Each structure stands twice: as structure tokens, then as C-alpha cells.
């Protein structure tokens, strides 16, 4: 729209200066002849119909110059022009019915002090506006005022001196919807309402613009694009853009202040309720090389944060961020993440994550890729509504670079860290982050459920088009089983857990254990060896392992379970364990009383019945059944149960063979009891169903 006004104004100046001298000479000669003849007293006016005057790109039609009030002194000279046609791209816009009732021409000077003109196009016709111009041999000017356009008013002032020109346009209270219907395309963005103010000051030489300042303001502007990716609702905005042309290189500066309404730029929704957004920038625009250089920019969202820096943008084949140095400062990370991050988290694993705290970050971008980052944060809270964990009171510095020799360390500390339902107390991590890797710099101890988790070594390395490589080594010391079982909603356990975690590595979709994982629990020890897994994070993971179990305290293990209480020791193994999708395929397992166990051996009625149900048999003893019900516990010599799983069937075995089956428990002491298993082969799914019923039933009857 602004270019249309510029073109129209310049064309009018050109047209006025180009009025042919021959035509004016003809008018003068006719006037002199008429005035010097006797018939002159009978005439009151004389006119010259010039007709059409055409230039290379413009045309005046219906040009008429009239000399009136011949009997008066001085006489009046009037100019009328039926139509002024403009060159492309303004050929849709014409000035028509141009009339200068106060027109003078003398001493190489033409002056229209009082004129009227209309503007017409294929889509729009204006009411008559005030029009004036002043043309001399060295300087020309014109003015168009009180032009009513789309419910508002427009004024245009232009001046030309030699090859230089200046132009001013002032449009006030123009209706956005009407102006679009009249002059602007509606295919991509459709305005529904709002008022627009525009003021343009421009200057140039010939057909070139040397500099301009464009000031605009919108009031309650509402509209949206056809695809819905850009929309405004009652938007209040003020902006200024200034630029100077230095041999094709534009030096510019801009200021935008959004202080009301709402703006949607997919996927961001910015609502100005009690806030405002200010954007300031200055730089260079090289149109020949399709490049914009932003020397300095500042984006400030009140009560949220501030982003500043510099950048180089190429736009030849799509928009590309070639280089950027940016700084972000926010004392309200909660609103920052809710407005600017959460829309990008939707439909991802982070959609339920919220952030809060203070953040300051400096980062570099090269060819649309992040190359360096230095961030400082404090009072950081990270919460996950999905219950996967949270961080409270986070503080630290994150330093990262894509340079392989980068050596600036990072630090992260917290007051509370929770992973699912497992709480980890205050701790600090020191690590090195560079390129595609993270490495722990020093050992650390994490407070955990009355004990600690020690991290001796940790590294992570990303791999192109593959899962990352991960390595870990550590230990567990004096972790409370009672607190652990409570956190995991298990049946209450007693005692502590500890042990050494050797190097665990994950590479090429395979998890492997570089040694034995030793777990100290229930006053005994569990050793895990030959641990390996493939496809761990796929839909069909595979798992291999061997386990050795030594001298677990059965009283601690079973005392608080619904299974029933047992005292004594338990040892055994699980060998050649192979699982697919976390379901056992094959293994050979044995759990039983270790040799030379001199601890007290007692077993409750409930445990006897449940063990008998596992083996598919009943409890046989030396006493009558009616007498058994008076005893809560029984003595035993040994207990044991083994399983060889193959093709979905578990081959069961006990501590010794019997003619009718196999003994799971052999009696010892008084009262004593034997438990015999009668079904040596049991379907694995059936066995699992039996164990499930045992764990969910409180009813035990011994007859």
C-alpha cells in the first residue's frame, strides 16, 4: 500500500513538470490575440483543450487549461485533467477529475493552490480529496489531504528538487478489514477487524529509495492465516522501522512494542494480559546476496525473560540461521517454559514436565546447529506430572561445546532428587560435557534411603543412528530395605542392602556386566554374573544372566510376607537364565537349605501350605491332622525346590526323592512335618498363577 502511494505521488510530480511548453505557448498566443481584439470585451473566458499528454510510462488524458474572468484583473487560470494513468506496478491506481480552480503559471512557475482529485482503482474509489502542487524549474512539490480511505484519513506530501525527492504519508484510523478488502490480497491472511495508523517518511533519487522511516500502530487487530498457523486477537502493537541505502546495502533499525491482545505463531501463544513484548534490533540487509545481518537485537517479554544477541540469516533457499550469538536471562523459568517450551513438548515424553527457577544462558549457533552453551541456573525445580521424578532446589553451571578438546567442567547440585518413587538426598555432580559425550569427573555419593549410592565412573556417548554408549560403575551401602519396600509399595522388608556394582556397559543395543554384581541383603549375598542384554530399549528385549545366592536369612526374607514365616538360611543359584521380552524362556534354578546350616529351622502353617501348593502335594506328618492345627510352627531339617525350565514346562525337584514324588521339606524336631511334591512337571504359566494366588490370599487351612 505504501509503495502505491509513493508511486502515485511521484507520478503526479512528473506529470506536472512534464506539461509541454508548446501547449502553454499556444494558450498564451491565443490569450494575447483574444485580449487585443475588439471582441475581447465580449468574452469572459478562453480555454485550450490540450487532449492527451503521454510520457514513456505515464499518460495524462483530457488535459484542459482555461483562462477565466478575462474582464477582471488579474485573470484566473484553471487546470483540469480527466485522468492520470501511472506506470507499473501502480497501473491499477489512477488520479481522476483533477481540478485546480486556483492555478497560476508565470516566470517558469506553475502553482495549484486549491485543487481537488479522486483516486480510483479496480477495487477501490475514493471520495474527492484536497490536492495542490507547486512546480518550478528547479523544485516541485505537491500535497494530497483529507483523502478518506477505509474509514480513516490519508495525507500525502511530496517534494522533488533535481533528481532528489522526499515523500511523507500519514494514514490514520484505517479499518484493517476494509483496507484489505479494497487493496490487499486475502488468500493467505484475512483481517477481521482493527484500526491501523501508518506514517512514512521517505527520500530518494530517481526511482531509488535512499532512506525511509516507517512508523505504524495497530489497535485491536484481529485476523488469521488460512492455515491457522498465524493469528491475532485484539492485538495492540506499535512499531518503527528505519533504513538507509548505501549502494545496495541497507542499514536498518527496528522497534516493536506489543502491549495488548494476543498473538499466535504456531505453536506459540502469546497473551499480553498485564504484560508486554518489546523487540529492538539493528543491522544490515544485503538484497543482492539474500542475507540479513542482525548486529544487535533484544527481545524482552516482561515478567518472563529477555533474549539478546546477534545473528546472520540467509533466505535464498528457505530461511537459514547461518550464525548467532545469543544470551537468555530469565528470573521466571516457570512462565518461560509454560509459554515458550511447553508448546514444543506436546505429544512428546516431556509434555508433563514443568520448570521453575532462574536461568542465564549464552549459546552459539553455526549453520543452524548449536555449537556452544554456557548456562547458569539456581532455585531450579523440575516436576513431572506423570510421576517419573522431580528435582527441587537445583543449582549449577552447564558448559558444553562441540569442540572435542573442550575442557570447561560443569556442575549440578540439588536439594532433593526423586526418580519415580525413590528419593535421593542432597548431592552434587561434577562432569565434562562436550561434543556428543558426557563424563563424570569425580566420584560422588548419593544419599539414598538411609544409605548411599556411590558413582565411581559414568560416561555417555551419542552414536549416529544408533543407541548411545553408556558405562557405569559404583556401589550401594547400607540402604534400608524397610524404606525401599515402603517406597516401592512392597510388603515390608527388614535389613539393609549393599554391594559393589562393576562396570556396566551398554553398546550396540547390548547391555553387559564387566565382572560380578555383588548384592549384600538379608545377611547374605547375591552374586550376578554373565549379565548381558540385547535390544534393551526395543519391543523385544533379550536378557542373559547367572545368579548365586548364599546364606540369606529366611526370617528377614519371609517374616513380613503373606507367604508365611520361615527361619533358617537359604542358598542356591539360577543358571543359564535366558529371557525374552522379560519372560523366562529357560533356566536351571535351585533354592534350599545350605549344607552345615546350624541355625534354628522353623516354618509356619501358612508357609507349609503354600509350599505344598507350589509342588501340587499336601503336608504329611507323624502326628494326626487333628493335632496339627494346634501348632503355629513346625520344625524341619531341610527344605529345597528346584526347577529346570524348557519349552514352557518346569521340571520340579526337591531335597530328596520319594517313591510317590519328591520331598520339598523334610521334618526335624518336634512337631515335625514333611512336605511332598507329587507333580514333577508343571506348566510355567500354571506355576506363576499358583504363586500369584499365594501372594494375594490370606486364608490358610490345615486339616
Per-residue confidence (pLDDT) for residue 160, from 0 to 100: 78
Q: What is the 8-class DSSP label of residue 41?
A: G
Instruction: Please report which residue ranges of 142-209 form alpha helices under DSSP H.
Output: 176-183
Q: How far apart are CA 622 and CA 673, in angstroms?
A: 7
CA distances from 390 to 104, 209, 339, 424, 611 (A): 84, 58, 20, 10, 42
Q: How far apart are CA 58 and CA 501, in angstroms?
A: 88
Cell 505463531 belongs to: 265
Q: How far apart are CA 3 and CA 184, in angstroms?
A: 12
Cell 499365594 belongs to: 694
Q: How far apart are CA 368 and CA 445, in angstroms?
A: 39
Please state whether the peptide bond connecting residue 123 to the residue before it is cis, i.e. omega within 30 degrees of 0.
no
pLDDT digits (tens, 9 = 90+) for 260-291: 999 999 999 999 888 899 999 999 999 888 99
Could you tell me which of 641, 628, 630 has the C-alpha nearest to residue 672? 628
Q: How far apart are CA 307 and CA 193, in angstroms?
A: 31
pLDDT means over runs of 10, the chain (703 residues): 34 38 42 40 62 62 71 64 63 72 74 79 74 78 81 83 83 82 67 88 82 92 87 93 91 95 92 91 92 95 95 89 95 93 89 94 94 96 91 96 94 94 94 94 94 94 86 91 85 80 86 84 89 80 91 83 82 94 92 91 81 59 45 84 93 87 82 80 85 52 32
Q: Are 497 and 519 in contact (CB under 8 A)?
A: yes
Q: How far apart are CA 589 and CA 545, in angstroms?
A: 12
Tell me the backbone φ, ψ of residue 160, rounded to 5 degrees.
Answer: -135, 135
Q: How far apart are CA 595 and CA 280, in angstroms?
A: 82
Q: What distance lies between CA 702 and its chain's CA centroid?
A: 64
Three-state secondary-structure class, residue 177:
helix
Cell numbers for 247: 549502494
User: Does an H or E element contain 462, and which?
Assistant: strand 451-463
Q: How far apart are CA 615 and CA 124, in angstroms?
A: 95
Q: How far apart are CA 578 and CA 585, in angstroms?
A: 6
For the chain, how many residues are written?
703
Per-residue confidence (pLDDT) for residue 174, from 0 to 100: 85
Cell numbers for 330: 530469565
Could you tell me which of 172, 175, 95, 105 has the C-alpha nearest to residue 129? 95
Q: How far apart are CA 102 and CA 99, in angstroms?
A: 9
Tell me the sheet residues that pair with 697.
none
Could you tell me which of 558, 480, 543 has the C-alpha nearest to residue 513? 543
Please state whether the peptide bond connecting residue 671 to the residue before it is cis, i.e. omega within 30 degrees of 0.
yes
Cell 494366588 belongs to: 693
Per-residue confidence (pLDDT) for residue 399, from 0 to 100: 96
Q: Are 435 and 402 in contact (CB under 8 A)?
A: yes
Per-residue confidence (pLDDT) for residue 72, from 0 to 100: 60
Per-residue confidence (pLDDT) for residue 57, from 0 to 100: 53
Per-residue confidence (pLDDT) for residue 114, from 0 to 100: 81
Instruction: Please report which residue ranges of 106-158 form alpha helices under DSSP H.
Output: none
> pTM for the complete prediction?
0.74
Per-residue confidence (pLDDT) for residue 76, from 0 to 100: 64
Q: Are 216 and 197 in contact (CB under 8 A)?
A: yes
Q: How far apart are CA 240 and CA 279, in angstroms?
A: 10
Per-residue confidence (pLDDT) for residue 16, from 0 to 100: 39
Cell numbers for 160: 522533488
Report the alpha-carbon angle 132-137-141, nearest 5.
25
Whole-angstrom Cα Rg for the chain:
45
Q: How far apart are CA 671 and CA 432, in angstroms?
A: 65
Tell me the sheet residues that pair with 457.
473
Per-residue confidence (pLDDT) for residue 30, from 0 to 100: 41
pLDDT digits (tens, 9 = 90+) for 11-46: 333 333 334 444 444 444 444 334 334 444 445 566
Per-residue confidence (pLDDT) for residue 32, from 0 to 100: 39
Regarding beta strands 59-68 and 230-246, do their DSSP bridges make them parallel or antiparallel, or are they unpaired?
A: unpaired
Tell me the sheet residues that pair with 231.
224, 264
Could you tell me which of 1, 5, 9 has the C-alpha nearest to residue 133? 9
Give the orientation angle of helix 605-615 with respect to helix 684-696, to 10 degrees. Answer: 160
Amino acid at each position: 500500500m505504501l509503495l502505491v502511494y509513493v508511486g502515485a505521488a511521484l507520478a503526479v510530480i512528473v506529470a506536472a513538470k512534464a506539461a509541454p511548453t508548446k501547449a502553454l505557448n499556444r494558450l498564451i498566443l491565443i490569450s494575447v490575440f483574444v485580449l487585443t481584439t475588439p471582441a475581447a470585451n465580449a468574452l469572459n473566458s478562453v480555454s485550450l483543450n490540450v487532449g492527451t499528454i503521454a510520457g514513456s510510462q505515464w499518460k495524462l488524458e483530457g488535459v484542459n487549461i482555461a483562462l477565466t474572468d478575462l474582464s477582471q484583473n488579474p485573470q484566473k487560470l484553471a487546470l483540469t485533467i480527466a485522468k492520470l494513468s501511472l506506470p507499473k506496478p501502480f497501473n491499477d491506481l489512477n488520479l481522476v477529475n483533477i481540478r485546480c480552480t486556483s492555478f497560476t503559471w508565470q516566470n517558469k512557475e506553475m502553482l495549484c493552490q486549491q485543487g481537488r482529485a479522486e483516486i480510483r482503482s479496480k477495487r477501490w474509489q475514493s471520495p474527492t480529496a484536497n490536492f495542490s502542487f507547486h512546480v518550478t524549474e528547479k523544485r516541485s512539490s505537491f500535497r494530497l489531504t483529507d483523502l478518506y480511505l477505509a474509514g480513516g484519513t490519508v495525507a500525502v506530501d511530496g517534494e522533488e528538487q533535481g533528481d532528489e525527492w522526499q515523500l511523507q504519508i500519514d494514514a490514520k484510523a484505517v479499518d484493517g478489514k476494509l483496507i484489505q478488502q479494497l487493496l490487499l490480497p486475502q488468500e493467505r491472511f484475512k483481517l477481521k477487524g482493527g484500526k491501523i495508523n501508518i506514517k512514512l517518511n521517505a527520500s530518494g533519487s530517481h526511482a531509488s529509495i535512499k532512506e525511509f522511516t516507517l512508523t505504524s500502530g495497530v489497535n485491536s487487530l484481529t485476523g488469521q492465516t488460512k492455515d491457522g498457523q498465524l493469528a491475532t486477537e485484539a492485538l495492540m502493537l506499535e512499531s518503527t522501522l528505519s533504513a538507509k541505502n548505501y549502494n545496495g546495502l541497507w542499514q536498518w533499525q527496528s522497534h516493536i512494542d506489543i502491549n495488548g491482545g494476543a498473538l499466535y505463531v504456531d505453536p506459540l501463544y502469546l497473551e499480553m494480559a498485564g504484560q508486554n513484548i518489546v523487540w529492538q534490533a539493528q543491522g544490515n540487509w544485503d538484497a543482492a546476496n539474500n542475507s540479513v545481518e542482525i548486529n544487535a537485537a533484544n527481545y524482552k517479554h516482561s515478567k518472563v525473560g529477555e533474549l539478546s544477541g546477534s545473528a546472520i540469516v540467509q533466505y535464498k533457499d528457505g530461511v537459514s540461521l547461518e550464525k548467532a550469538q545469543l544470551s537468555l536471562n530469565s528470573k521466571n523459568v516457570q512462565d518461560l517454559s509454560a509459554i515458550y517450551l511447553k508448546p514444543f513438548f506436546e505429544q512428546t515424553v516431556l509434555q508433563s514436565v514443568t520448570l521453575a527457577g532462574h536461568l542465564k544462558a549464552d549459546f552459539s549457533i553455526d549453520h543452524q546447529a548449536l555449537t556452544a552453551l554456557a548456562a547458569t541456573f539456581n532455585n531450579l525445580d523440575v516436576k513431572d506430572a506423570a510421576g517419573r521424578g522431580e528435582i527441587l532446589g537445583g543449582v549449577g553451571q552447564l558448559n558444553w561445546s562441540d569442540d572435542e578438546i573442550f575442557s570447561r567442567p560443569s556442575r549440578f547440585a540439588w536439594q532433593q532428587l526423586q526418580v519415580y518413587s525413590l528419593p535421593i538426598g542432597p548431592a552434587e555432580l561434577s562432569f565434562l560435557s562436550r561434543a556428543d559425550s558426557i563424563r563424570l569427573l569425580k566420584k560422588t555419593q548419593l544419599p539414598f534411603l538411609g544409605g548411599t549410592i556411590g558413582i565411581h565412573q559414568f560416561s555417555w556417548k551419542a552414536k549416529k543412528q544408533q543407541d548411545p554408549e553408556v558405562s557405569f560403575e559404583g556401589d550401594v551401602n547400607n540402604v534400608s530395605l524397610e524404606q525401599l519396600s515402603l517406597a516401592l509399595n512392597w510388603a515390608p522388608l527388614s535389613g539393609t542392602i549393599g554391594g559393589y556394582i562393576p562396570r556396566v556397559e551398554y553398546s550396540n543395543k547390548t547391555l553387559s556386566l564387566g565382572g560380578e554384581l555383588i548384592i549384600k541383603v538379608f545377611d547374605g549375598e547375591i552374586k550376578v554374573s554373565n549379565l548381558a542384554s540385547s535390544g534393551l530399549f526395543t519391543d523385544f528385549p533379550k536378557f542373559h544372566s547367572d545368579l548365586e545366592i548364599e546364606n540369606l536369612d529366611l526370617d528377614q526374607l519371609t517374616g513380613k510376607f503373606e507367604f508365611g514365616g520361615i527361619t533358617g538360611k537359604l542358598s542356591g543359584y539360577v543358571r543359564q537364565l535366558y529371557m525374552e521380552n522379560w519372560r523366562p524362556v529357560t533356566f536351571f534354578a535351585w533354592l534350599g537349605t545350605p549344607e552345615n546350616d546350624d541355625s534354628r529351622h522353623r516354618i509356619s502353617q501358612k508357609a507349609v501350605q503354600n509350599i505344598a501348593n507350589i509342588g501340587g502335594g499336601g503336608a504329611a506328618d507323624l502326628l494326626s491332622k487333628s493335632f496339627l492345627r494346634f501348632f503355629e510352627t513346625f520344625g524341619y531339617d531341610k527344605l529345597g525346590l528346584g526347577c529346570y525350565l524348557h519349552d514352557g514346562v518346569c521340571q520340579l525337584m526337591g531335597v530328596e526323592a520319594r517313591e510317590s514324588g519328591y520331598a520339598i521339606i523334610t521334618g526335624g524336631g518336634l512337631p515335625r512335618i514333611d512336605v511332598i511334591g507329587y507333580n514333577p512337571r508343571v506348566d510355567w504359566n500354571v506355576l506363576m498363577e499358583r504363586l500369584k494366588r499365594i501372594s494375594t490370599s490370606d486364608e490358610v487351612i490345615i486339616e
